[in-house]
Amino acid sequence: MSDISNQSDKSNWSDKIPLTGSRFLTDGAPGGMGLEFYLGEDGVVVATVTPELRHEGPPGHVHGGFATALLDEAMGAAVWQAGHRAVTVNLVTDFRAPVPIGAEVTVRGWVDRIEGKKIHSVGSITLPDGRLAVEGRGLWVEMPEMFKNATENDRPFGFPRAR
């Protein structure tokens, strides 16, 4: 895994316009989380989120699938912000510590390396005290043909979120 200790935080978010993404995470309630990802100066996509009871897996803690969805979204947004119209083809999630319901956590994603049409991205979820809770790594493959007719209404990551 890449070092996450110095990756973006709120103090150096360069793009204060929320980025678009998957509706179930970025739309407002009741259907979505209202999650807002921002682009840091170093190319890291960052968001903070406070999981609710509806995201519970083990009692009092976030479901692993929800944590994985957060990482997929952050890592994919980083890939898109780096200019790649790609889709996830592999995603690995490592759980280091439980994520409590009601705790504001920070989600980050960034591009690790590029090999032709393959983009490797990594991400993390950190707890309020800075401890690493979940980390992920994945592979995205360029598929611009899937997005050739995309508009702002289709909400790919390349567009600022409408306010």
Q: What is the pLDDT of residues 88-112, one digit of tens each?
A: 999 999 999 999 999 999 999 999 9
CA dihedral 157, 162, 52, 41 (to 10 degrees): 50
- What sign does the CA torsion over 34, 25, 153, 17 have? positive
pLDDT mean values, one per 10 residues, the chain (163 residues): 44 52 68 78 88 93 95 91 91 98 96 97 98 98 82 52 38
Q: Is the peptide bond before 160 cis (omega within 30 degrees of 0)?
A: no
Give the pLDDT of residue 129.
Answer: 97
Between CA 82 and CA 64 the distance in angstroms is 27
CATH superfamily of 10-154: Hotdog Thioesterase (3.10.129.10)
48 near 113, Cβ under 8 Å? no
Give the pLDDT of residue 83.
Answer: 86
Between CA 78 and CA 136 the distance in angstroms is 13
21: its two tokens:
């993404």
Helix (H, G, I), strand (E, B) or coil at 152: helix
